Structure formats: C-alpha cells, structure tokens
C-alpha cells in the first residue's frame, strides 16, 4: 500500500459543479488545497478552490497540467473523456480509475458488467437500429424505457414507449446515438446506497436513502429509508459487493428499484458522491464528501453513523422569481433547517441551485420540516 496523502497536500478535481464544491469544502476542512478544472467561468467549485483552471474536459494538456500540480486527482462526475483520464493517470494517481469510469459512463457496459457478475438488473436490449427497437419492444413488452447509452442523467436522454406506433419517433429521438431499451419495472420505491472503498480495500456504507423524484429529478430524500431492515442490509451489502467487483477507490452510489415483496434491482451506478447523500453533511459523523477525501488520499475511512433521522429537499431554479432572488429570510425563519447554496449565478427551471436538510425524531418529521421551509420560499 502506498503512503497516504497527508493534509497540507493539493488534490486535483475534474469537474466544478456543486458536487465538486462540497468536496472542496470538505477537503479544506481537512487541510487540503484543491485545484479544480471546469469549462465554465466562476464555477461552484472554483469559487472555493485554491486554483480554478478553465478548460474543456477533452483538453488533455490542461488536465495534465492540473495533474502535475497535485498529489492525486478525483472526479466530480463520470463523463470525462477516456483520453483525458488516461493522460491524467500517466502523471499522478487518479481515483476512481479510468477503467471504473469507462464502465459506468455507458449504460450498456454498466448493465453488462452487473449482469455478468450476478447482480440483479432490469431486463434490457441494445439498440442500434429501428429494427432493433421493434424487436426489443416485442421481447421486453410495453411499456418500456428507451435511454441513450451515454450522457444521460436527471431524465435526460430518456423516453417512455407505450405503444408500437411510437417506435419510429422514439428511435429518431436518439439522434443517431446508441440506445438501451429497459423493461418497465413496477416498483414500490426508489432508494440508493452511498458507499466508500479505500485503496487498502476498507469499505464503509451509509444508511439506505429513500428517494422521491419529480420530472425525473431527485426531489426529496429521507434517511433512513422506510423499508424492512433485512432489505436495507441487502442493499448495503450489494453496494459494497459492486464497489469491490469494480475495484473502486473512492465513492460509489448504487441506485435501486425496490419491488413489492422486497426484491431489489440495480438501476444505475455513480462512482462519486450523489445528490441522495447530501444529508450526510449535517446528519452523519462523516459526510460523503469528507469520505471521498479520505478514500482518495489513502486515509482511514470515517464513521458513517446517522446522528438522527434526516431529510433533504432540492432547491431548483424554478423557485427563483424572474429577475430576482427568493426571500431567504422566510426560509431561514425555519431555524432548524440547514440551507446549502451552490454559488450558481443563473437560475433555470430544473437546475439544481441548492438543497435543504433537517433532522427530526423520525424521517417523517424531518421531511415535513424541509418541505415546509421550501414552501415558505414561495411566500
């Protein structure tokens, strides 16, 4: 095992959005400096980083320049070009590794990896032609979900097929990209598990998060998920097993569908902190972002214990009045709710601008608190 990267060192970050911002804040608390690379100007992570490099993700030379100035590099999101990842790895350690990112940044590779190792996934078919799509709808039945194989998140690149007559239009909507058709899953709820794995093979896992979406974007999360203890333990064990099978060093989030009767199906993987884990900042001994720093630096992993039941609610740009800001004093009058804003200067519908967290005697109480505080923003 290599020597740990101790506080006082510099860490590189590919990606400068809100996940990168919260990683940077956690790293600063532990005494590290962060150099962030992002194509945007005044990005959320760059606002709090020691150095902000403005460059495209396919700018191999800029990425290598970043790597030469730090002791290790990590990522904020998985869709970094393979050439950039390989170039960074030639200069300094990168976690998670390029092979992990290559696997999970493409839905077909991800699903084939999971299925080949016996993890339960929704039935799926590869789509390259309209004939493929017609055949797949017959094999899997309708309704079904058609997704682009790459660059899909928050519902982007996804569409529901309900009848054979939709096949031509749905295939055209792929825009020439490779697709994946997934069988429609009648589930009781969606949940996720965030876990961490160090280079020494040490693992740590948080409580299962129960997630509710609106328009394909995460709306609220409660900790712990209101599911049977045996199902929660199975979800946590499966997340750790997937992290070990992938060889992840860093973070891994596993999203699940929970069917009636307690059956879990893996929906998606994210080799990084996750929106559903934001409540860990206020509700757990160690947040997902501090854990990312620990894992990347080869330090012992922190305690993931939940202090009290908690809930998180996203704040989207829809809440911003045209030409102005929300009335934050109304929200902050809810004095037991924590506000986290991401430093984004332009609010747009569907854009994640921040989140709220509250603790409570129960998940229901915590959820009621964040919903009431968010509603107060509307006046």
Find the CATH number of the domain harbouring 277: 3.30.470.20
pLDDT at position 152 is: 62
Residues 134 and 275 in one domain: no
Confidence tier at 153 by pLDDT (50, 70, 90) = low
Eight-state DSSP code of residue 229 = H
ω into residue 224 within 30 of 0, thus cis? yes
pLDDT at position 341 is: 98
Residues 284 and 241 in one domain: yes
Instruction: Give the model confidence (pLDDT) of 187-226 as tens digits.
Output: 999 999 999 999 999 999 999 999 999 998 999 999 999 9
List the CATH number of the domain containing 138: 3.30.1490.20
pLDDT at position 353 is: 97
List the CATH number of the domain containing 69: 3.40.50.20
Residues 65 and 175 in one domain: no
Is residue 334 predicted with pLDDT exceeding 90? yes
Listed residue (137, 175, 280, 268) closest to 213, CA to CA: 268
- Are 354 and 346 in contact, with CB atoms under 8 Å apart? no
Residues 163 and 273 in one domain: no
**Residue recorded with tokens 């409570």:** 360
pLDDT at position 136 is: 96
Q: Rounded CA gap, 348 and 264, in Å?
A: 34
Residue 204 covered by a domain: yes
Residues 247 and 311 in one domain: yes
Confidence tier at 325 by pLDDT (50, 70, 90) = confident
Is residue 347 predicted with pLDDT exceeding 70? yes
- Are 26 and 292 in contact, with CB atoms under 8 Å apart? yes
Residues 197 and 333 in one domain: yes
Residue 105 covered by a domain: no
Instruction: Give the model confidence (pLDDT) of 221-239 as tens digits.
Output: 999 999 999 999 999 999 9
Q: To 10 degrees, what angle do helices 18-29 and 288-296 make?
A: 70
User: What is the domain count for the chain?
Assistant: 3
Residue 356: helix, strand or coil by DSSP?
strand
Residue 117 covered by a domain: no
Instruction: Give the model confidence (pLDDT) of 54-92 as tens digits.
Output: 999 999 999 999 999 999 999 999 999 989 999 999 999
Residues 287 and 222 in one domain: yes
Structure tokens at 221: 């999360």
Residues 75 and 223 in one domain: no
What residues make up the domain containing 173? 123-183
Residue 191 covered by a domain: yes
Q: Rounded CA gap, 21 and 12, in Å?
A: 12
**Residue recorded with tokens 């876990």:** 195
What is the H or E stretch that residue 33 is in?
strand 33-38
Residue 44 covered by a domain: yes
pLDDT at position 154 is: 58
Residues 57 and 152 in one domain: no
Residue 329: helix, strand or coil by DSSP?
helix
Residues 157 and 133 in one domain: yes
Residue 112 covered by a domain: no
Q: What is the pTM of this model?
A: 0.95
Q: To 10 degrees, what angle do helices 60-68 and 82-89 make?
A: 30
- Are 253 and 269 in contact, with CB atoms under 8 Å apart? yes
Residues 258 and 162 in one domain: no
- Are 243 and 269 in contact, with CB atoms under 8 Å apart? no
CA angle at residue 272 from 302 to 200, to 5 degrees? 50
Residue 234 covered by a domain: yes
Residue 64: helix, strand or coil by DSSP?
helix
Residues 168 and 28 in one domain: no
- Are 298 and 4 in contact, with CB atoms under 8 Å apart? yes
Residue 38 covered by a domain: yes
Residue 281: helix, strand or coil by DSSP?
helix
Q: Rounded CA gap, 189 and 264, in Å?
A: 10
On average, the pLDDT of the chain sits at: 95
Among 94, 112, 141, identify where a domain stops.
94
Structure tokens at 141: 């039945």
HSE-up (13 A, CA, CB side) for residue 23: 33
CA angle at residue 247 from 241 to 251, to 5 degrees? 80
- Are 188 and 262 in contact, with CB atoms under 8 Å apart? no
Among 137, 155, 183, identify where a domain stops.
183
Among 183, 212, 234, identify where a domain stops.
183
């Amino acid at each position: 095992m290599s020597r740990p990267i101790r506080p006082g060192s510099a860490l590189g970050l590919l990606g400068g959005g809100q996940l990168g911002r919260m990683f940077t804040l956690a790293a600063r608390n532990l005494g590290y400096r962060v150099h962030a690379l992002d194509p945007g100007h005044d990005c959320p992570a760059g606002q709090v980083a020691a150095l902000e490099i403005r460059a495209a993700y396919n700018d191999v030379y800029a990425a290598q320049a970043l790597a030469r100035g730090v002791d290790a590099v990590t990522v904020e999101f998985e869709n970094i070009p393979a050439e950039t990842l390989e170039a960074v790895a030639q200069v300094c350690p990168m976690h998670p590794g390029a092979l992990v990112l290559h696997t999970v940044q493409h839905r077909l590779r991800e699903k084939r990896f999971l299925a080949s190792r016996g993890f339960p996934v929704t039935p799926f078919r590869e789509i390259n032609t309209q004939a493929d799509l017609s055949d797949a709808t017959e094999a899997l039945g309708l309704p079904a979900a058609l997704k682009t194989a790459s660059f899909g998140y928050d519902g982007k690149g996804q569409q529901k097929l309900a009848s054979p007559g939709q096949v031509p239009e749905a295939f055209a909507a792929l825009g020439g990209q490779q697709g994946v058709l997934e069988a429609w899953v009648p589930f009781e709820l969606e949940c996720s598990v965030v876990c961490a794995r160090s280079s020494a093979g040490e693992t740590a896992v948080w409580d299962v998060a129960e997630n509710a979406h609106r328009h394909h974007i995460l709306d609220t999360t409660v900790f712990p998920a209101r599911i049977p203890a045996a199902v929660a333990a199975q979800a946590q064990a499966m997340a750790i097993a997937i992290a070990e099978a992938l060889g992840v060093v860093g973070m891994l989030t596993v999203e699940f569908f929970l069917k009636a009767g307690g059956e879990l199906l893996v929906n998606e993987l994210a080799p990084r902190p996750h929106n559903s884990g934001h409540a860990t900042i206020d509700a757990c001994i160690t947040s997902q972002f501090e854990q990312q720093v620990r894992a990347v630096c080869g330090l012992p992993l922190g305690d993931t214990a939940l202090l009290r039941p908690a809930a998180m609610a996203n704040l989207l740009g829809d809440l911003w009045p045209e030409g102005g800001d929300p009335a934050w004093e109304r929200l902050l009058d809810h004095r037991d709710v924590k506000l986290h804003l991401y430093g984004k200067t332009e609010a747009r519908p569907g854009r994640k601008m921040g989140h709220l967290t509250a603790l409570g005697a129960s998940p229901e109480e915590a959820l009621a608190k964040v919903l009431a505080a968010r509603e107060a923003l509307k006046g």
